[in-house]
Amino acid sequence: MKFTKYHALGNDYIVIDPKNLITSLSSEDIKIICNRHFGVGSDGILYGPEKSDICDFSLRIFNPDSSEAEKSGNGLRIFSRYLWDESLVFDKEFSIETKGGAVKALVADDGLSVTVGMGKVRFTHEPIGEPTPKPQVLTVKGREFTYFVANVGNPHCVILLDEVNDSVAKEYGSLIENDNRFMNKTNIQFMKVLNRSAIQIEIWERGAGYTLASGSSSTAAAAVARALGLCDPNIDVHMPGGIINIDLDKSYAATMSGAVCKICEGNFVSEAFHCTIK
């Protein structure tokens, strides 16, 4: 089984092309591949390209726990770079279908940067949208948080704080992700506004855990900051892995731009899949 590994600001994914598979990936296969001790290790698997009736390509995204994600901004940038490396796309815009909606992408800077139209951000996890984010309150381990929900094709919970660090994400992230109020769980961004054109976030990603960077999280947090009047439309999102730029129009349609780096490519052998991860 051939694979290619990339990272987008430290958020790493393994691309597996269905054409290189004899059989489909099982849940256990996904867990082994993503495990950093039993497999190659990654924050998820990008399974594609597959055929699409509405776009140039179709992509499925799997988390390390084998659950399927609707959308991933970093994953989409990495997948776009893979398509470019395979000479399936060139210097023109192309479209990708995900479970979280269709997006358009463009590879630039000799493959080192990718821009993706992430679609409109909605301020709800429900099918019917909200025009602005509404403050809500939850209490975790005795600490009260004010949060705002957002939807970028996948669910997000943005928590505004005066200071953010990895400790707060690691301590509270899993508990908030699995809180009963979030029917399909949620991604969490702990956000600090730096100035009118920059925010800082720490991320707990649904199904993956603490993450150095996230494109969909950057999009959700930037949209909330803009909708609350705290930032201008063009926002640099600072994360431990680096910076992603988010540009928002008046309807909160977001364009994301950020770096991608190819790490390696190789082949899995069948012996790797004989292990069982407890």
Does position 106 have pLDDT exceeding 90, yes or no? Answer: yes
DSSP, residue by residue, 125-176? SSSS--SS---EEEEETTEEEEEEEEESSSEEEEEE-SS--HHHHHHHHHHH
* pLDDT value of residue 23: 84
Each residue of 15-46: pLDDT tens digit? 999 999 888 899 999 999 999 999 999 999 99
- What's the Cα-to-Cα distance from 70 to each of 46, 227, 262, rounded to whole Å? 12, 23, 23
Q: How confident is the model at residue 128 (pLDDT cuts 50, 70, 90)?
A: confident
Each residue of 145-195: pLDDT tens digit? 999 999 999 999 999 999 999 999 999 999 999 999 999 999 999 999 999
Count of positions (residues) in the chain: 278
Q: Rounded CA gap, 137 and 119, in Å? A: 27
Q: Rounded CA gap, 64 and 42, in Å? A: 7
* pLDDT value of residue 277: 75
Q: Which CATH superfamily is domain 136-258 in?
A: Diaminopimelate Epimerase; Chain A, domain 1 (3.10.310.10)
Structure-token match 């770079």, residue found: 81
* pLDDT value of residue 35: 95
**Candidates 3.40.309.10, 3.40.50.720, 3.10.310.10, 3.40.190.80; CATH matching 2-116+261-274:** 3.10.310.10
Does position 274 have pLDDT exceeding 90, yes or no? Answer: no
Residue 31, both tokens: 């867990």
Q: Where are the domains of the chain?
A: 2-116+261-274, 136-258
* pLDDT value of residue 31: 95
Cα pseudo-dihedral 73, 79, 84, 89, rounded to 10: -80
Average per-residue pLDDT in the chain?
96
Pairing of strands 187-195, 155-160: parallel
Whether 2-116+261-274 shares its CATH topology with 136-258 is answered yes
